[in-house]
Chains A and B, each alone.
Chain A
Amino acid sequence: MVPKRCSRGRDRAAPSRGRAARVLRRAFATACLLWLSQAAAIAPEIVRDLASDDGDARDKAITTLVAGGDPRALTLLEAWRNGNARRDASERVLLVDGDAAVDAATGAAVTPVPADLDELTINNRVRRELDSAINALRLSSADVGTRMAAAKALSGDADGVALPAITTALAKETDPGIKASLTLTSASIQLASGNRDTRMAAVRTLADSDHEATRTLLQRLLARNGAAFVEPDEAIRAEASKSLRVVESRLARGDLVARVFSGISLGSVLLLAALGLAITYGLMGVINMAHGELMMIGAYATYVVQGFFRSHAPGAFDLYLVVAVPVAFAVSAVVGMALERTVIRHLYGRPLETLLATWGLSLILIQAVRTVFGAQNVQVENPSWMGGGVEVMTGIVLPWSRIVIAVFAGAVLLAIFLVLTRTRLGLFVRSVTQNRAMAGALGVPTARVDMLAFGLGSGLAGLAGCALSQIGNVGPDLGQSYIVDSFMVVVLGGVGQLAGTVSAALGLGIVNKFLEAWSGAVLAKIAVLVFIILFIQKRPQGLFAFKGRTVEA
């Protein structure tokens, strides 16, 4: 009686009894466990069946174990799942852990570990059953998190062996989230039930599901198996197609959320890549084909900082981005300013030549990085707080890294806006943009401003590279894949205005992702490019943003 009480006895129907009661219960549960570890828990014949090669006997044994809800069973099944359950010549099942072994049936330690042991059979069917059984047993855990994880793992495609445990767990579960999840899981298992009413109820219940697998289950129910339907009962089929419609519309809504998010995410990456260009090209009129390579340098700077933290301060590894962001900015800005001083400065006013020269520079930078770091991609590891994501619906996880980058893009945008409108440098940059000669006459050091503005644009490229290193491969060709896209953003957004760049980047990102779902990634990209070409037919003003009363050359 006592072991039974231990596993099931906590009365979850009354959570309002207060902390004291809960503490008491937990203490009691611990005591039970202690007692258990010395008790013989599992009937020997069940263990024998588990070890047998007869599949049906094995299934039955597992079902009995799960139905018993015995914690020892969990240990046994987990050991089996991990390949630590062995069987000796006398049909005894031993749980081996390194040098120690425990008899699964009696719980007694076996020393020494016998020499000739067979591993218990594990094939795909067994593995599926075991997963379901283990998770079903975990449903009776005291910890809400464990129960939740188990319920999650069971949802989708649980094996029939889990049904009794799920039913028991449902009866006492108090957490509404877990309860809802379990209801759906048991319904999806009951779809295969022989009882018509059970199936009908299950089909009705499944209308509440937001799980991808439910759609498959319902579709399978509606499919034909030769001439006959899989589901013989007409009423159930009607109900199933109704449920299917509800589930599908729910899934479509989730899809929409996911797509908008990935569009915003792509848009924020494009925005980061294009912001620097908006400065160098939009404000200064310099076509910098090496912009992508400055991004690449920013990404490699992040890689170096990450490596430094890994070898010198592994404890603070999670904080490496705090250092990497300014470093990436600084390195790219310095490289950019060097390029400006040595090459680009001589080419102001000759955009076509600038284009060719900066392309040459980009080739040199690519090869230089190949020489230093090798042609292979390098691994940049995310800090741990960037791993995982927020689950907004079942199966739709918004990764933290993407969220962080979107926020980062917003922050960078704000910073640029402030720099351009609130600082002395910004004032100078704008004045030189509007009327270089007049600005010079009023004492603005135009050459210096050119250099600093170019450095700012390059530094932004470095920031973009730092962000990209968190979501993609870092290799010498990183920049090449973004350069066409980011120029498109600037061209579409119009020259010399941040608002245009922002809307173009986000718009392109979202449109791209929606087209992608409709026509595939490559065609989507082509469609977007064709759209841009057509768009600038209609609105060449987007291209020719005359500043003041200048006239084209």
Chain B
Amino acid sequence: MTPVDAIRFDEAAAERPSAEASTTGIAGGTGVRPVAVRARPMVLADAVLRLPRGVLYGVAAFVLLVVFPVGNLLMPADSALHVSDYAVTLGGKVMCYAIVALAMDLIWGYTGILSLGHGLFFALGGYAMGMYLMRSIGAEGVYHSELPDFMVFLDWKAYPWYWRYTEHFWYAATLVVLVPGILACVFGYFAFRSRIKGVYLSIITQALTYAAMLLFFRNDTGFGGNNGFTDFKRILGYPITAPATRIVLFCVTAATLLAGIALCRVLVASKLGRVLTAIRDAESRVMFSGYNPVHFKLFVWTLSAIMCGIAGALYVPQVGIINPGEMSPANSIEIAIWTAVGGRGTLIGPVFGAAAVNLGKSWFTQALPEYWLYALGLVFVVVTLYFPRGIAALWPRREPQR
């Protein structure tokens, strides 16, 4: 083996974001020599959260569920504790993205499957919710028809069959879970069964979301073509732009995010989570040990897609628009970079990664719109080259003291 190759394999093993020190010895499964095991930052980050976890959750819940609503609704505008409407909308949006990043982390950071199609599941959840929101506009559209404006424009006389019952919120909410879930389940079954993995799976998922984007861009598909859904008026009877409605949506999103983190933590700490990391680090070994990786992958893949769908459903009423652009391959790749920036294989990292990238994006697109793509591109390159463990690696090393 040339020195070059030795270094390469070392890198490959070292960069693997492993929470399980014991698995690094077989990293890559190529039979190269083990890399020195050392305490990994994300283990520390984990540890930081271990004892005071209840406290941390409490603080986060207090800030999101009490400080934001009170600051936004009750504090006068000139008060230092006032939270602006803009901050609420942005915060809600970022939390939706954080849920997506969390879902991506589950499938990529823990199971080693890089999906470039998660934007599709996000958009599908959003469209399912959007259908309900469109129905609840009623006859207040531009054409004062019971049908959405885009259908009037296409001269459609009735809703197509797949719009049936979407005027009921709970049915739409079921669709939010079922549509991404079933699609992911079917697609995942075929993909994992024929052992498509690694970059092949990434490319195929990218093609999937690209195909869906083309489909939704068509007017005849019945989802508003390239304008998508917008101009929502109310949700569950409440005006959608009212501050109180917005803050309720914000709180629901925050609760969902916290619940998502809790769920993922339970999941990755369980035996199932161990198998997932094992699949990531040495799938062949998992197979030879008598596990069928297909079932595990399929489960976590579907769960991840459903989380994305829910995030999309929360996103649409807060942002007020959903269009096929959400399904563009670029969007899905961006999801991967949120997770990478935050730190794969940690749960709290991707949440911060999504927040950091998206807050950076809103700042850049306002202050220096020309340079946003440079910045984003650099983030992609720099994080993969120099910070494979992301923000989570910067977490203070506090474990030894405890």
Contact = CB atoms under 8 A, between A and B. Distances in A.
A366 B207 contact: no
A529 B210 contact: yes
B196 A364 contact: no
B9 A349 contact: yes
Contacts of B377: 360-364, 367
B2 A359 contact: no
B215 A441 contact: no
A373 B200 CA distance: 34
A553 B13 CA distance: 12
Interface stretch (A17-25, A317-325, A536-544): A536-544
A437 B381 contact: no
B207 A525 contact: no
Contacts of B199: 287, 351-352, 355
Given A355-B114, A436-B5, A363 B380 contact: yes
Interface in B1-57: 1-2, 4-5, 8-9, 11-12, 15, 28-30
B155 interface: no
A526 B216 CA distance: 11
A368 B374 CA distance: 8
Interface size class of B (residues with CB under 8 A): 35 or more
Contacts of B30: 553
Given A347-B384, A360-B380, A533 B204 contact: yes
Interface string A497-523: 000000000000000000000000011
Contact of A536 (B11, B15, B196, B215): B196
Interface in B322-369: 329-330, 333, 336-337, 340
A364 B194 contact: no
A529 B211 contact: yes
Interface stretch (A63-71, A121-129, A395-403, A484-492): A484-492
A543 B384 contact: no
B373 A526 contact: no
A536 B371 CA distance: 40
Contacts of A360: 337, 376-381, 384
A526 B220 CA distance: 14
Given A352-B199, A447-B4, A525-B214, A536 B329 contact: no
Interface size class of A (residues with CB under 8 A): 35 or more
- The B contact surface, by secondary structure, is helix
Contacts of A534: 190
A544 B374 CA distance: 35
A530 interface: yes
A491 B204 contact: yes
A348 interface: yes
Nearest to A538: B194
Nearest to A364: B377
Contacts of B125: none
B8 A349 contact: yes
B5 A357 contact: no
B164 interface: no
A553 B29 contact: yes
A367 B388 contact: no
A356 B2 contact: no
A543 B196 contact: yes
A522 B8 contact: no
A347 B385 contact: yes
A491 B200 contact: yes
B122 interface: no
A350 interface: yes
A552 interface: yes
B11 A349 contact: yes
14 contacts: A287-B203, A349-B12, A356-B333, A364-B374, A437-B2, A437-B5, A440-B4, A484-B207, A522-B214, A526-B214, A529-B211, A536-B196, A536-B204, A537-B193
Interface of B: 1-2, 4-5, 8-9, 11-12, 15, 28-30, 114, 187, 190, 193-196, 198-200, 202-204, 206-208, 210-211, 214-215, 217-218, 284, 329-330, 333, 336-337, 340, 370-371, 373-374, 376-381, 383-385, 388
Given A355-B199, A357-B380, 12 more contacts: A349-B11, A352-B114, A353-B15, A360-B377, A361-B381, A367-B377, A436-B5, A484-B207, A522-B215, A544-B195, A551-B284, A553-B30
